[in-house]
Structure 1
Amino acid sequence: MTAPAHQAPLPPPPLTGSARAWGTLALSAATFMNVLDTSIANVSLPAIAGDLGVSPTQGTWVITSFAVANAIAVPLTGWLSQRFGQVRLFVASVALFVIASLLCGLAPNMGLLIAARALQGFVAGPMIPLSQSLLLSSYPRALAGLAMALWSMTTLIAPVMGPLLGGWITDNVSWPWIFYINVPVGIWAVFVTWAIFRGRESERRRLPIDAIGLALLVIWVGAMQVMLDIGKEHDWFASPWVVGCAVVAVVGLAAFLLWERDEAHPVVDLTLFRNRNFWAGSLATSVGYGLFFGNVVLLPLWLQQYMGYTATQAGEIMAPVGLLAMVLSPMVGKSIGRVDPRRYATFAFLVFAVVLWMRSRFSTQADFATIMVPTIVQGISMAFFFIPLVTITLSEIEPARIPAASGLSNFMRITAGAVGTSVTTTLWERRATLHHAQLVEGLVPGGPGFDQALQVLRAGGLTDAQALAQIERMTTQQAYMLAANDIFYASAVLFLVLIPLVWLAHAPRAQGAGAADAAAGAH
């Protein structure tokens, strides 16, 4: 029964003992499954496209459909949770995600697979913000930072594990199993979450549907996501399709902002941006995550395409990123109430900058260990990145608005990840083209470098044609390595530039009033 509007319902007490442990595991498993599905299909696209008889370009809509639907649903979390209740909405989202995953695996053609992926992405939208809110409500205020540490590990490690797990499943089983593995995990999460949290439901309010706001959100977010996904293959703004998507996205966003500003029951609560800590924390998180995710995509691409690594070997390079994060995150979570989170976030950005500077020094002779070291060090920055920034973002948000704030900040983060990936891969190819042209200028017949390389290759038994082809391959490899170095270096500088943004936020008050504490009262 809905409580009267003037009464503020008391938040449920924190969970204790095994209930809290099992609740944490169930929420984390659902979150991990969700985040994993944003990247697990990437390496399987050639196999999916070949099996369903479409081109690899058409196959990319398996990724696009999920991203578009997910980006639309995430900011709706606040409105949906008030309408249906946080626990009911979360359990329904996980259950529908399981059904959609099953449909993805069973899809007999690309059209049905894309439809199932769109459904999967849409129902996945509320899962991450609500898992955050429910987890925080399960812990006492003094341990809210620890709750955030446990939650952040799943959202940071899953994107790295996705390509590794997806590649292994595709190579050793078959691609439908990248979706089937969600079924047992999701069913378990549904039953455990409902058993533990059903008595902790939030207040529900029968809000009217902002149909125009929802339609505008679908239009501008959908157009933006499609633009980001098709941009690279259509040479960006040289294509009328990309220009058209960009125009629709900009006009749609402007109309959406104007409409939502005066709407009594908006689908997205834009008044959250009046809070300095929310906008500063969300912006720092989004840009930082966009830089992080763009480089997470770039490194394995470079290793596989130009350094001769297999998908499994590239995954082994990326996997240790979670080691130090898992060790340090609980420590950060326990101490966040005593240490200014702005200091921790600054330290995270500094370490990210150092890691990317180390990568900018790579050469084509870099061995496995050399490439692995920055990845291990990056785990330190990941531990100090998410928890302090979420703490800053939510520090001045009242408990009833936590799902809306979490949904909006996660929408910004997910969108920044998509932008980061598109910008990184596009700049990488364009810088490589530039470096290739510059390198070729020095490779002319009669030049000392060219003639010497040709002689060495001839001495190895290659014909002139084979030697020239080998020189071209080496030049291309060098060009892409130099381009990757450029991206790594620029990303390092941008992480340093981000540091002042963190300090625009107010210092969250000590234990009992910070973000995590406010969120701990969410229900």
Structure 2
Amino acid sequence: MTSPSAADPPRTPFSTWSGFAAMCLGMFMAILDIQVVATSLPNIQSALLIAPDRMSWIQTAYLIAEVIAIPLTGWLTRVLGMRGLFVIAVSVFTVASIGCATSGDFAVLVAWRTVQGFAGGTLIPAVFAAVFLLFPARGQALATTVAGVIAVLAPTLGPIVGGWITETYSWHWLFLINVVPGLIAALLGAGMLPAERIDIDHVRTLDGPSLLMMALALAALEIALKEAPSRGWTSPWVLGLLLLCAATGVSFVRRTVRRQRPVVDLRALADRDFAIGCWLSFVLGMGLYGSVYLMPVFLGFVRNHGPLAIGEIMLVTGVMQLLTAPLAVALERRVDARWLTAAGFVLFGLGLGLSAFQTWESDFDDMFWPQVIRGGAIMFCLLPPTRLALGHLPPARVPDASGLFNLMRNLGGAIGLALIDTAIYGRAAGHAQHLLSRLSAGDVGAASFIGVPAEALAGRAPGPIDAASEALLRPLIERAGFVAAVNDAWAMLAIITAAGLLVLPFAKRRPPGT
């Protein structure tokens, strides 16, 4: 029997994969939690007697805390170590989930959601940092794919899980489902992840003013993006929040780049490939979170499907992600990351664009192939850019860089959702009026898009529709205007995704699999 060659790469121990699996489980819970809660906000509102205009804060509190925690992951990793940070974060997330489930009023629920969001926010970048800290180069492609599949599968499964819980149990179980997986993840992570020295002395390096400025900038941006579609982008409240974000953000950057030990190391952005990877992550966030948002909006408001039926339709995307993941791993080891990224974004943009031609009758069959294309492309939009951004950095810089990289995806998603809501609720009325004008002119195509039989126009002379007929047609016209606005949002996401390709020629060529 021959002995292994010294040149053979070391095998990754089973304990490392087990610890990494625990981290992925924690990340899955954190991402899934956002989606399952979103499906049951009306149930929570009625149970706790929450005013309708305050209901969205159940989600907003989580998201604000999450975007503040993500860039802090690097600093927390230096203080607690990777194992310490993960075990503490997943334990706090689990306790906060119990707190949410036992909340008796709105204020208590929002407080626990804030704690839950902060803990969950550290879990996502910690996983992607672990890929490059725990595994040798040969195993990083598989680890990145596992993390990527879980990161994008959670939003896809969210509607069906939330819908099933809502229809089968009470809203409390939206949070209680985190308890057992949380305990398993904490115990497995504590036992399997490599031990590291906790550097409490590093706490003294925390720059309090920088932390405050970063938190204010991100919170102001998140609230502004939430309020802009309803209040208007030029409303005093939104403009004030955006000015606060800009002022505190600029101050944070100026202070951070001058410090030897900053809260968030922004110097990684000086690396060209890392900056390109962050832009790709930002663009992917817009398309990924946007598509996961648009499908339930259309299926719920236009097709009148319930949460469970919506989740079943959206499973197509998740299945395709799982089927193409092995192909993405194999190709990533053999093909230039730039070409894989280009192929992924082209296909993802195509899948988004194909959804821009929906009618009020569109359902599973019409959404099948766009979902297949998008689901098959997602891993090629995630795996190569992640390696492009993080794979060449020294280990000491990976935690901070992973935080920035994942923050860009979340910010892309937040901005994308704000633009989508602006497009839908800002253009739906205009589309409805335009369709009414076309219908008055006897346009058969407009009649079909609205849902009016072409025979109804037969023999009718072009001219204004009488008030009684318009009142009968108004619900159909408004529905068609809403569909047209949703199609505009799909087209917008497709164009933005295509814009992601513009930076690829500037990325450095690196041998595949390195």
TM-score in terms of structure 1 length:
0.88
Q: Using the TM superposition, give the Cα deviation of residue 466 of structure 1 relative to its aligned residue in structure 2, in angstroms.
A: 8.5
**1:82 matched to 2:78:** yes
Q: What's the offset of the Cα at 1:467?
A: 5.9
Structure 2 equivalent of residue 91 of structure 1: 87
Aligned to 1:164: 160
Unaligned runs of 5+ in 2: 1-9, 458-465
- The aligned residue for residue 4 of structure 1 is none
- Structure 1 pair 83–313 and aligned structure 2 pair: CA distance change class (3 A): same
- How big is the shift at 1:500? 2.2
Q: Which residue identity does 1:371 align to in structure 2?
A: M
What residue number does 1:208 align with? 205
- Residue 477 of structure 1: SS of its match in structure 2? helix
Question: For structure 1, which segment, 421-430 or 267-276, has the greater mean C-alpha deviation from structure 2 after superposition?
Answer: 421-430
Q: How does 1:354-503 map to 2 (within 5 A)?
A: 354-444=350-440, 468-503=470-505
Deviation at 1:406, TM superposition (A): 0.2
1:448-475 CA distance string (max 9 Å, x none): 999x869959xxxxxx998644411111
Cα 1:136–1:447 shift into 2, 3 Å: closer
Give 1:444 deviation, angstroms.
4.6
SS at match of 2:392: coil
The equivalent residue for 1:505 is 507
Distance (whole Å) between structure 1 residues aligned to residue 510 and residue 205 of structure 2: 34
Identity of aligned residues (%): 28
The one of 217, 220, 223 equivalent to 1:220 is: 217
Structure 2 Cα separation of the partners of residues 328 and 205 of structure 1: 45
8 A contact 1:41–1:163 mirrored in 2? no
Deviation digits for residues 163-209 of structure 1 (CA, Å, limit 9, x no counterpart): 22122212221111111110100000000111111436688862511
1:81-112: CA deviations, max 9, x gaps? Answer: 11121110111000011011110111110000
Equivalents in 2 of 1:447, 1:151: separation in Å?
51
Which of the residues 36, 42, 61 maps onto 2:32?
A: 36
Determine if contact 1:39/1:162 at 8 Å carries over to the other structure: yes
| Residues 454, 467 of structure 1: 8 Å contact kept | no
The one-letter code of the counterpart of 1:40 is V
Deviation of 1:403 after TM superposition, in Å, equals 0.6
User: How far apart are residue 300 of structure 1 and its match?
Assistant: 1.5
| Shift in Å, 1:394 | 0.9
Structure 1 residue 226 displacement after superposition:
1.1
CA displacement, residues 41-82 of structure 1 (integer Å, 9 cap, x when unaligned) = 112111111111112220110101001111111101111111
Q: Is the 8 A contact 2:158 2:311 kept in 1?
A: no
In structure 2, relative to structure 1, the CA distance for the partners of 1:453 and 1:467 (3 Å cut) is farther
**Within-5 A mapping of 1:211-250:** 211-238=208-235, 240-250=236-246
Question: Which amino acid in 2 is paired with 1:57?
Answer: D
**CA shift digits 1:203-255 (9 cap, x unpaired):** 886251101100101111111111112222323322x2222211111111111
Deviations 1:7-55 (CA, angstroms, capped at 9, x unpaired): xxxxxx86423x2443333122111001112222112111111111112
Find the aligned partners of 1:426 and 1:330 in 2 and give their Cα distance.
Answer: 38
Cα shift readout 1:235-286 (whole Å, capped 9, x = no counterpart): 3322x22222111111111111111121222111111111000111111111
2-side partners of 1:120 and 1:104: how far apart? 9
Q: Distance in 1 between matches of 2:190 and 2:468?
A: 65
Letter in 1 for 2:421: T
Residue 9 of structure 1 corresponds to none
CA deviation vs aligned residue, 1:106-156 (integer Å, no higher than 9, x gap): 111000000000011112222111122334444332121011000101110
What SS does structure 2 have at the residue aligned with 1:396?
coil
Task: State the 1:482 CA deviation.
Answer: 1.6
Residue 435 to residue 185, structure 1, CA distance change in 2 (3 Å): same
The aligned residue for residue 150 of structure 1 is: 146
Match of residue 520 from structure 1: none
Rounded Cα–Cα distance in structure 1 between residues aligned with 2:440 and 2:65: 51
CA–CA distance in structure 2, aligned partners of residues 232 and 420 of structure 1: 11
Query: Partner amino acid for 1:172?
Result: T
2:279–2:500 CA contact under 8 A, matched in 1: no
Shift of residue 341, structure 1, vs aligned partner? 0.9
Q: Structure 1 CA distance, aligned partners of 2:68 and 2:442? A: 59
Partners of 1:242 and 1:372 lie apart in 2 by 38
Give me the whole-angstrom Cα distance separating, in 1, the residues matched to 2:168 and 2:502. 47
Bigger shift: residues 253-262 or 92-101? 253-262
Q: Relative to structure 1, is the Cα distance of residues 340 and 262 closer, same or farther in structure 2, using a 3 angstrom cutoff?
A: same
Q: Are the equivalent residues in 2 in contact too, given 1:68–1:121 (CA < 8 A)? A: yes
The residue number in structure 2 matching 1:341 is 337
Question: Post-superposition shift, 1:402?
Answer: 0.6
Partner of 2:36, secondary structure, is coil
Residue type matched to 2:212 in 1? Answer: A
Using the TM superposition, name which of 326-335 and 152-161 deviates more: 326-335
1:301 and 1:340 map into 2 onto residues whose CA distance is 37
State the match for 2:462 in structure 1. none
Q: What is the CA deviation profile of residues 309-346 of structure 1, one whole-angstrom value per residue up to 9, with x for unaligned ones?
A: 22222212211101121122133224423321111111
SS of residue paired to 1:471 = helix
- In 2, the alpha carbon distance for the partners of 1:469 and 1:175 equals 39
Q: CA contact under 8 A between 2:20 and 2:127: conserved in structure 1?
A: no
For 1:211, give the aligned amino acid: G
Q: Structure 1 residues 142 and 202 mapped into 2: Cα distance closer, same or farther (>3 Å)?
A: farther
CA contact (8 A) 2:341 2:381 kept: yes
- The CA distance in 2 between the partners of 1:467 and 1:158, in whole Å, is 46
Q: Is the 8 A contact 1:88 1:201 kept in 2?
A: no
Find the counterpart in structure 2 of residue 197 from structure 1. Answer: 193
In 1: Cα distance, 2:512 partner to 2:299 partner: 45
Distance 1:79 1:15 in 2: 27
How far apart in 1 are the matches of 2:512 and 2:379? 20
Stretch deviating more after TM superposition (468-477 or 40-49): 468-477
Q: Distance in 1 between matches of 2:180 and 2:260?
A: 41
After superposition, the Cα gap between the structure-2 partners of 1:202 and 1:378, relative to the gap in structure 1 and judged at 3 Å, is farther
| 1:266 correspondence with 2:262 | yes
- AA paired with 1:409? F
Gapped regions of structure 1 (runs ≥ 5):
1-12, 458-463, 515-523
Distance 1:368 1:435 in 2: 25
Aligned length: 491
Q: CA deviation at 1:480?
A: 1.5
- C-alpha contact (below 8 Å) 1:277/1:392 kept by paired residues: yes
Q: How far is 1:430 from its partner?
A: 1.6
Identify the residue that residue 461 of structure 1 maps to in structure 2: none
CA distance 1:447–1:332, shift in 2 (3 Å): closer
One-letter amino acid of the structure 2 residue matched with residue 236 of structure 1: W
- Whether 1:350 aligns to 2:346 is yes
1:491-516 CA distance string (max 9 Å, x none): 223222221212321123444xx4xx
